[in-house]
Amino acid sequence: MSVGLLQKTDDEILLLKESSLLVGKTLGEVSRYLKPGVDTRTLDRIAEEFIRSHGGIPAFKGYNGFPATLCISINDQVVHGIPGERVVKDGDVVSVDCGAVLNGYFGDYAYTFIVGETDKHTADLVRVTRESLELGIAEAISGNFVGDIGYAVQLHVERHGFHVVRDLVGHGIGRHLHEKPEVPNYGKRGRGMQLVENMVICIEPMINMGTWKVIQEADGWTIRTRDRSPSAHFEHMVVVKKDKPEVISTYDFIEN
């Protein structure tokens, strides 16, 4: 595919910002109820009702057969956890990934919560994952390469003794949930597709405390760490620009 075909128009970016804003507000709504004692199915219902009441459609529900609105992944679950009867406990590390469609365009991003208190090493994992996302975003300028993003993420993560999941990647986004290019969280500078202005990508480090290796659980969706160590996941939607990337997703509704 021609790189130029991956560029979005200004009007398309405005529509992506609207869908992205709905995701941010949904994550904020979910965060209000994410406490010890809540089951993940309840959180999923809250998200679906919020998205639909604001004119959107849950992007994940029915996608390749996925049965829920949110991906909720706890502790050693990396991504794609299916909400159900599991009850959130104090000290859990909970990744919530949310997607919504509004006006034909997709929003998709994720946030990892620490519920209550946890140990320092787990808190460091979550912090370093968040930092690696910011460092990856900084590389999303036209003329750079996909490998520059992965290199920045990997370098920071491994310097702190953690490991990048190799089997899962970020992606482009627009009228489809997953578009080109794939955006790995590891790599070498100057490798992969070259980035061009107004390409919109989801950068999403998935970082494990232990081995980078993962397995799929029997439900056919949930990905967890092979050694059962904790994992963290953050994701932002980013517009590639000439001088400074534009982040069009927001954690403000969670953190403020």
pLDDT digits (tens, 9 = 90+) for 76-102: 999 999 999 999 999 999 999 999 999
In tens, the pLDDT along 171-201 reads 999 999 999 999 999 999 999 999 999 999 9
- 117 burial (CB, 10 Å; 0-12 / 13-18 / 19+) is exposed
Structure tokens at 154: 């990997």
Looking at every residue in the chain, the average pLDDT score rounds to 97
In tens, the pLDDT along 5-35 reads 789 999 999 999 999 999 999 999 999 999 9
In the chain, what are the domains? 3-255 (3.90.230.10)
Are 134 and 151 in contact by the 8 Å Cβ rule? The answer is no
pLDDT at residue 79, rounded to an integer: 98
Confidence of residue 127 (pLDDT cuts 50, 70, 90): very high
Name, in order, each residue with C-beta under 8 angstroms of 49's C-beta and a sequence gap of 6 or more.
none
Percentage of the chain exceeding pLDDT 90: 97
pLDDT at residue 5, rounded to an integer: 74
**Confidence (pTM):** 0.96
Are 203 and 136 in contact by the 8 Å Cβ rule? The answer is yes
Identity of residue 65: G
Report the pLDDT averaged over residues 207-227.
98
Name, in order, each residue with C-beta under 8 angstroms of 66's C-beta and a sequence gap of 6 or more.
60, 80, 82, 221
Please compute, for residue 217, the number of CA atoms within 13 A of its CA located in the half-sphere on the CB side. Answer: 15
- Does residue 4 carry a pLDDT above 90? no
Confidence of residue 2 (pLDDT cuts 50, 70, 90): low
The residue ranking higher by pLDDT, 256 or 171, is 171
pLDDT at residue 63, rounded to an integer: 97
pLDDT at residue 242, rounded to an integer: 96
- Does residue 220 carry a pLDDT above 60? yes
Structure tokens at 149: 């993003």
| Angle formed by the axes of helices 40-53 and 10-33, nearest 10° | 140
Report the pLDDT averaged over residues 223-237.
98
